[in-house]
């Protein structure tokens, strides 16, 4: 556990309630109380560790094995297009892996589509920054 108050340590120790979906000796999966979609879960290690890459190999294996099992269950039950997975540890300094069922057009799908567009943008931006394109824009604005 940890020296400072931690909501996940409190859940693991039984001091705070949670909807535990599954667990093993080193990790657990709980429902997120502020979900992005139905079934949004968090996979957390039982030891207080701020970042997933600071966990032992055994803890990583236990955590990601549960995350994998939970993701497959989420796909089956919620008919998701994909399970968004990302690791956090900053705001709440205890590793937590988001497992969020996502469907076409939902908030996460739109976010990732926008991110992909941004990632691809340099080609697009270089076209509009060409001298010809700038001259064209300038003429239109005059």
What tokens appear for 12 in the block? 């693991």
- pLDDT band of 18, cuts 50, 70, 90: very high
Q: What's the whole-number mean pLDDT along residues 55-71?
A: 96
Host domain of residue 59: 1-103
Same domain, yes or no, for 64 and 111?
no
Same domain, yes or no, for 97 and 109?
no
- pLDDT band of 121, cuts 50, 70, 90: low
The whole-angstrom separation of Cα 57 and Cα 141 is: 60
**How much is the mean pLDDT over the chain?**
89
What tokens appear for 38 in the block? 């139905």
The whole-angstrom separation of Cα 102 and Cα 110 is: 10
The whole-angstrom separation of Cα 127 and Cα 138 is: 15
H/E run at residue 27 = strand 27-31
Q: At what angle do helices 131-141 and 107-128 cross, to 10 degrees?
A: 100
In the predicted model, is pLDDT for residue 65 greater than 90? yes
Q: How many CB atoms lie within 10 A of CB 134?
A: 11
Same domain, yes or no, for 22 and 90?
yes
Q: Where is pLDDT greater, at 70 or 36? A: 70
Total domain count, the chain: 2
| pTM higher than the cut 0.75 | yes
The whole-angstrom separation of Cα 32 and Cα 44 is: 11
For residue 84, the domain's CATH number is 3.30.428.10
Backbone torsions φ then ψ of 84, nearest 5 degrees = -75, 130
- pLDDT band of 120, cuts 50, 70, 90: low
Residue 109's pLDDT is what? 84
Same domain, yes or no, for 135 and 95?
no
Q: Is 72 exposed, middle or buried (0-12, 13-18, 19+ CB in 10 A)?
A: exposed
Same domain, yes or no, for 70 and 30?
yes
């Amino acid at each position: 556990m940890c020296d400072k108050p931690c909501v996940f340590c409190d859940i693991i120790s039984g001091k705070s309630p949670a909807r535990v979906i599954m667990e093993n000796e080193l990790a657990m999966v709980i429902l997120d109380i502020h979900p992005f979609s139905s079934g949004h879960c968090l996979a957390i290690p039982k030891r207080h560790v701020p970042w997933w890459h600071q966990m032992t190999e055994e803890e990583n294996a236990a955590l990601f094995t549960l995350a994998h099992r939970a993701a497959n269950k989420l796909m089956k039950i919620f008919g998701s297009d994909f399970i968004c997975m990302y690791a956090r540890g900053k705001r709440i300094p205890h590793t937590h892996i988001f497992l969020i069922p996502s469907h076409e057009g939902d908030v996460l799908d739109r976010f990732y589509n926008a991110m992909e567009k941004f990632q691809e943008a340099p080609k697009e931006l270089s076209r509009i920054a060409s001298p010809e394109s700038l001259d064209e824009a300038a003429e239109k604005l005059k």
